[in-house]
């Protein structure tokens, strides 16, 4: 997936902020809602049987002290048509995580939320929903997060956490073909790695695999970093996917 490295925040709009709107209603508006700063990102996963891609949506609010009462998300195509919608996540949770199925293509993710105090917020995120081909394999987007009871909980920003977990899906290939995977953290897209760790590859189904590893980030200064997932086949073919790690 190629997408903007930054996470988009809501823009000021006093008129919209004063309105009493539901999260679903805000999906169809272009206004920003400044009362509740929201940020969001999207990650492309493996294809379904009909060729559509699974897009995982992650969104959170900056004020975690007040629970979220409503949230909704939509994927909008280049023709400004809503292709898929996701709504009614479990109230109070942040980050919010959901998934939608869409054909490959360029989309705008629109996320809207209302907290229990009635404050409204929305964010837009532009991205290209596609898989990355590496020889006979296809790679999904890198997801960063924390391990909670053995489950990856996505994070859009890290603070004083000592480490982060990174994972991405791999599909295709020929059984028994050697594949190695490496995770690198660098300051720039093609800059030298500051950190490099091997990734473990485990099977999750027929011709479906998950590459996962833990990277120590506690000593990294605040700022944005490029995380590279690198796959190498036994014939020398190399491919990679990238994402941004933001540390405050």
Closest CA to 68 of 41, 38, 26, 42: 38
Q: What is the pLDDT of residues 37-64, one digit of tens each?
A: 999 999 999 888 899 999 999 999 988 8
pLDDT given at position 206: 86
Average pLDDT, the chain: 89
Q: What is the pLDDT of residues 129-160, one digit of tens each?
A: 999 999 999 999 999 999 988 789 999 999 99
Task: Give the 3-state secondary structure of residue 99.
Answer: strand
Are the folds of 14-130 and 133-247 the same?
A: yes
pLDDT given at position 161: 95
Tokens of 95: 């980050």
| 231: preceding bond cis by omega (within 30 degrees) | no
User: What CATH code is assigned to 133-247?
Assistant: 2.60.40.2550
Local confidence band at 15 (pLDDT 50, 70, 90 cut-offs): very low
Alpha carbon 143 to chain centroid, angstroms: 6
What is the mean predicted confidence (pLDDT) over 10-34?
A: 70
pLDDT given at position 99: 93
pLDDT given at position 11: 42
- pLDDT greater than 80 at residue 224: yes
- pLDDT greater than 70 at residue 1: no
Count how many residues are written for the chain. 248
The rounded distance, in Å, linking the Cα atoms of 172 and 235 is: 16
Q: What is the largest CA-CA distance in the chain?
A: 60
Alpha carbon 5 to chain centroid, angstroms: 11
Using a pLDDT cut of 70, give the percent of the chain over it: 89
User: According to the CATH classification, is domain 14-130 in 3.40.630.10?
Assistant: no
Alpha carbon 228 to chain centroid, angstroms: 14
- pLDDT greater than 80 at residue 8: no
Q: ∠ CA(45), CA(101), CA(228), 5° rounding? A: 20
pLDDT given at position 231: 96
pLDDT given at position 5: 44
Closest CA to 212 of 147, 148, 166: 166
Q: What is the DSSP string of 37-80?
A: -EEEEEEEEEE-TTSPEEEEEEEEES-TTS-EEEEEEEEE-TTS
Domain boundaries, given as residue ranges, for the chain: 14-130, 133-247
The rounded distance, in Å, linking the Cα atoms of 244 and 143 is: 10
DSSP state of 3: B
- pLDDT greater than 60 at residue 100: yes
pLDDT given at position 65: 84
Q: What is the pLDDT of residues 173-202, one digit of tens each?
A: 877 778 999 999 999 999 999 999 999 999
pLDDT given at position 57: 94
- Ranges 79-88, 105-114, 207-216: which has the least confidence: 79-88
């Amino acid at each position: 997936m190629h997408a903007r490295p930054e996470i988009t925040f809501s823009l000021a709009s006093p008129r919209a902020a004063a309105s009493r709107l539901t999260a679903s209603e805000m999906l169809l508006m272009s206004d920003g809602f400044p009362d509740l700063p929201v940020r969001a990102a999207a990650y492309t996963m493996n294809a379904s049987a009909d060729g559509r891609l699974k897009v995982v949506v992650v969104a959170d609010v900056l004020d975690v002290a007040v629970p979220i009462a409503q949230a909704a998300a939509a994927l909008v195509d280049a023709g400004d048509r809503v292709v898929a919608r996701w709504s009614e996540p479990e109230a109070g949770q942040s980050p919010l995580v959901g998934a939608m199925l869409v054909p490959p293509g360029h989309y705008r993710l629109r996320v809207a939320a209302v907290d229990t105090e009635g404050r409204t917020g929305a964010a837009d995120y532009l991205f290209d929903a596609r898989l990355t081909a590496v020889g006979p394999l296809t790679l999904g987007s890198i997801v960063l997060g924390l391990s909670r009871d053995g489950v990856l909980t996505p994070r859009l920003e890290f603070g004083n956490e000592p480490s982060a977990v990174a994972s991405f899906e791999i599909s295709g290939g020929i059984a028994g073909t050697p594949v190695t995977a490496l995770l690198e953290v660098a300051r720039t897209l093609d800059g030298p790695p500051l950190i490099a760790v091997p990734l473990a590859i485990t099977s999750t189904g027929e011709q479906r695999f998950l590459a996962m590893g833990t990277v120590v980030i506690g000593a990294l200064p605040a700022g944005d970093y490029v995380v590279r997932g690198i796959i190498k086949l036994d014939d020398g073919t190399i491919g990679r996917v990238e994402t941004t790690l933001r540390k405050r």
